[in-house]
Structure 1
């Protein structure tokens, strides 16, 4: 009787260890270094984000930006999304970390001619948009990095609009 219980217990432990190992390997999607490497500034320097920065960027983006930019779209203007093509065509181009951070601090219209800080959440308008109040430069870097790696992670779904989200 005791041998059967021990055998059963050992089988359960082995099954638990096997299933935990399988679950961890399928749920832990680690982004490789190439995926986490994005353009830092207009000079084409690059930066490799840490996995922690990407996770933090995702959390901060979902908390501060996803209400209007879920899936990389722009609900108020579906013609301008957060995919790299739209970001690169803005003035100045917003397809790098430095320029995205500048935008999150003081947003300008797509043509770069007018401030839209009263309409778009930003550090400059934090009194109007409380979610922006406590964001640090490191937070903004993480959010910008998250935005820039999404086209590599979810491909055409990022900024793809209604057909995907």
Structure 2
């Protein structure tokens, strides 16, 4: 009887291990292929004030996400602004800034040389930017292509997560 109980325990452990391995393989192999692919209409973002649009490539979206998480998410996780929760990265807040920051080119301009929300003065010593890369080392190696990807990613989030992006304490 004791031997039978040991055999049953061994079989249970083996089954648990087998199930764990199967779940691990499923997570690595199957789930990435099931990931949601953003369609072209969703990836279409306004480029400049003239209304010209650009379609982000999936690679630009992935790159923008990685760069945003590495360089911006510490203060802007989920599109909020930790230092001023009244101003987020959602399209409405970006469009109400002076000058408006609701296009890729305007966001790139902001990331190069940031100004206050009303556009009255430079905040490059307070906000990470290319202009203040000596103060904010994460900005040192960002190219124009990197800034394009980050700006595109920020504007894309308002389309993907319209309720959550920039939602502040309600969601994050």
TM-score bracket relative to the smaller structure: 0.7 to 0.9
1:92 equivalent in alignment to 2:99? yes
Q: How does 1:1-165 map to 2 (within 5 A)?
A: 23-26=31-34, 28-165=35-172
Structure 2 Cα separation of the partners of residues 54 and 23 of structure 1: 19
Larger Rg: 2
Alpha-carbon separation, structure 2, partners of 1:141 and 1:76: 24
TM-score scaled by length of structure 1: 0.85
> How far apart are 1:22 and its partner, in Å?
5.1
Tell me how large the CA RMSD over aligned residues is. Answer: 1.6
What TM-score do you get using the length of structure 2 for normalisation?
0.82
Runs of 4+ in 1 over 2 A off after TM superposition: 19-26
Q: 1:120 to 1:33 in 2, by over 3 A?
A: same
Q: CA deviation at 1:25?
A: 4.2
Instruction: Report how far residue 151 of structure 1 moved.
Output: 1.1
